[in-house]
Amino acid sequence: MSEQDDWRLASARSIKGAVLKWSRYRQPRPAWDHDHCVACWAKFAEFEGPDIQHEGYATLDEYNWVCAVCFRELKEVLDWKLASPDSA
């Protein structure tokens, strides 16, 4: 699949150039129990279920999440950077 044909880029471009860190997903508040990969919409949650992601790449504020597959496949075209280990 060429870069132009990758359907995931449409929404993932919203965090082009972002600094991401590997994190365990934590529910931000009681009424917000899951998030989705900004590219493929894989589900991140603390609860168990089919295809639930428990870890992935998150922006430093943990508002946007990217699954490991999308990070690996899209990091260069979207210029994603890994946070240094001491980043909060």
**Does residue 87 lie in a domain region?**
no
Query: Range of 36's domain?
Result: 3-82
13 within a domain of the structure (yes/no): yes
In a domain, 55, yes or no: yes
Count structural domains, the chain. 1
Specify burial of residue 73 (Cβ count, 10 A radius: 0-12, 13-18, 19+).
middle
Tokens of 34: 């899951």
How many other CB atoms are there within 10 angstroms of residue 7's CB atom? 10
State the Rg of the chain over Cα.
Answer: 13
Each of the 88 residues of the chain gets a pLDDT tens digit; together they read 456 689 999 999 999 999 999 999 999 999 999 999 999 999 999 999 999 999 999 999 999 999 999 999 999 999 999 998 776 5
- CA atoms of 86 and 48, how far apart (whole Å): 30
Is residue 61 included in any domain, yes or no? yes
In a domain, 36, yes or no: yes
In a domain, 88, yes or no: no
User: Could you say which DSSP state residue 12 is in?
Assistant: H
